[in-house]
Amino acid sequence: MLIKSLITPANILIKLSTEDTAEKAIEIIENNGFLSLPVFKDNNFFGFLSKQFIYDQFFKSGSPGVNSFFQKPVSDFITSPQETVKDNIHVEEAAEIFFKSKVRFLPVVDSNDKFVGILTQKALFEVILKIFGLQDAKIVILSSDFSGVIAKIAEIIHKQGANITNIVQMDTGVMGIQEISIRLEGKNLEKLVDKLKSSNINVREFIPAK
C-alpha cells in the first residue's frame, strides 16, 4: 500500500507562516489542540514547529524579556527545513522513517516535488493494524516443516470456515523449529484450535480476537 491514500491533504491543513510570531504560533497550536503544526514560507512547506520547542528555546536563552522573546518570528525557531517523502512510497518505508527519525509527521510531495500534505503516525499505524490483522485472533504454532504444515493448517482452517488475515514465520533458533503466527477471523475458533491439535499440529498458544 502506498502512503498517498493516507495523507492529510495540504488544503485542509492548519498552517503556520515563517513570518508569524512565536506568540501567534503557540496560540494557533493551543486553540486547535495540536502539539505541533507545519510551517510554510511563500506557500512552500518549510518545516514543523512545536509549542514545546518554543518554550525550550525560551528557557535556554535566559532572556529576561518574555514579551520580546515571543515576538520573534517562527523562522527563528526552524534551523533547517525538514526532508520530504514521496507520495508513492510504501507504508513499510514510512514506518521505518518514523522509527529512525522520531518525528510525528512526514511532509509528503508528489512526483513534481509539490507539497501535497502530511502523513501522521496515527494514520500510518491505524492502517498497519488493519493490514496485519492485529485485532484478530492469533494462533501460534511450532513446526520444523513450514511448507508441509502450512498447507495442512490452511486446509483445516478453510474447512472450519475461518479466514487467514496474516501469517508471520520466525526461526526460533532451536533445532530448526519455526514459529508460525497466524492471524485469523471466524466463529468458534476454539473448536478450530482443538481440530488443529487433534491433527497433530503443535499449537503453542491461542489468543482470542480483541
- 2-29 pLDDT tens trace: 899 999 998 898 989 999 999 999 999 9
Contact 67, 98 (CB under 8 A): no
Intervals of CATH 3.10.580.10 along the chain: 3-129
> Under CATH, which number does the domain 3-129 receive?
3.10.580.10
DSSP 107: E
- What is the reported pLDDT for 35? 80
Intervals of CATH 3.30.70.260 along the chain: 135-207
> Under CATH, which number does the domain 135-207 receive?
3.30.70.260
For the chain, what is the mean pLDDT?
88
Average pLDDT over residues 134-144: 89
Q: Which amino acid is at 90?
A: H
Residue with the bigger pLDDT between 134 and 176: it is: 176
Average pLDDT over residues 170-192: 89
Residue 81 has pLDDT above 70, yes or no: no
Cα distances (Å, whole numbers) of residue 54 to 49, 73, 92, 120:
8, 11, 32, 21
- What is the reported pLDDT for 200? 92
C-alpha cell at 32: 486547535
- Has this prediction a pTM greater than 0.95? no
